[in-house]
């Protein structure tokens, strides 16, 4: 019994030693010296094989764990990237109790939407009305305009243009004398580059009216980043 325990201890000591060749995980290389031990002492042979097997499994699990740790770090990096690039804004023209109109003006004028529902990532400036894309990606942009001519028969001009870097992308337009009120909406998905400037411009003659019912809204959010 004592001899078997001793052999086992010897076996485990050899297993710790780097020079001990055990074949690596998955391989079944049998050491000839070990074969001799197996011939002379069946019981200690079983014990040594078990030690070998345990060592092999330990190495295998260590490798698997290392791999998983690497994957986890990679995943966390991607997740943090996604979190950092969150960008969403949604604003309304005003939050006044009484209906207030913006325009008409003699020149095109950028509309500074004053009421902020959300401005995640602070891409929207309430002072200028300009949204600056924090990073390149596909953005969803929506614009709803509403106007009130004041009384039937007055000319109505519910119009605005969505612009990227000063270029018109789309523009809802309702100009007539048949309605007192009108509303129009556009929604687009655009690939913007980091630093691109998005704004809503009020063309000459157009005017928009609103109160805290928020009939005029401007919304944008990053669908996914492309850099």
Tell me, residue by residue from 99 to 128, as one string, x for binding to ligand NAG by CB under 6 A and - for no binding. x-----------------------------
Asked if 59 is part of the footprint of ligand NAG (rule: CB under 6 A), the reply reads yes
Stretch that binds ligand NAG, among 139-147, 152-160, 169-177, 207-215 (CB under 6 A): 207-215
Among the listed residues 14, 45, 48, 55, the single contact to ligand NAG using CB under 6 A: 55
- Binders of ligand NAG: how many residues, by CB under 6 A? 8
Candidates 52-60, 70-78, 107-115, 156-164 — which segment interacts with ligand NAG by CB under 6 A?
A: 52-60
Among 35, 58, 152, 185, binds ligand NAG (CB under 6 A): 58
By CB under 6 A, what part of segment 60-89 binds ligand NAG? 62
Q: Which residues lie below 8 Å from residue 141, measured CB to CB, with a gap of 6+?
A: 162, 169, 187, 188, 189, 190, 198, 219, 220
Residues that bind ligand NAG (CB under 6 A): 55, 58-59, 62, 99, 211-213
């Amino acid at each position: 019994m004592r001899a078997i325990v001793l052999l086992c201890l010897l076996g485990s000591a050899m297993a710790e030693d780097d020079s001990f060749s055990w074949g690596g995980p998955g391989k079944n290389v049998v050491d000839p010296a070990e074969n001799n031990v197996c011939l002379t002492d069946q019981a200690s042979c079983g014990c040594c094989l078990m030690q070998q097997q345990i060592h092999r499994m330990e190495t295998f699990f260590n490798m698997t764990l290392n791999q998983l740790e690497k994957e986890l770090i990679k995943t966390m990096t991607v997740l943090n990237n996604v979190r950092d690039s969150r960008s969403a804004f949604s604003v309304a023209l005003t939050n006044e109790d009484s209906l207030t109109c913006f325009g008409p003006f003699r020149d095109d004028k950028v509309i500074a939407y004053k009421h902020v529902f959300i401005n995640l990532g602070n891409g929207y400036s309430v002072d200028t009305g300009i949204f600056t894309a924090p990073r390149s990606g596909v953005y969803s942009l929506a614009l709803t305009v509403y106007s009130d001519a004041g009384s039937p028969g007055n000319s109505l001009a519910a119009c605005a243009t969505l612009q990227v870097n000063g270029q018109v992308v789309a523009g809802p337009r309702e100009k007539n004398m048949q309605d007192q009120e009108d509303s129009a909406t556009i929604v687009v998905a655009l690939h913007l580059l980091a630093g691109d400037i998005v704004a809503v411009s009020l063309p000459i003659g157009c005017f928009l009216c609103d109160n805290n019912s928020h009939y005029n809204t401007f919304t944008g959010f990053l669908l996914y980043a492309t850099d």
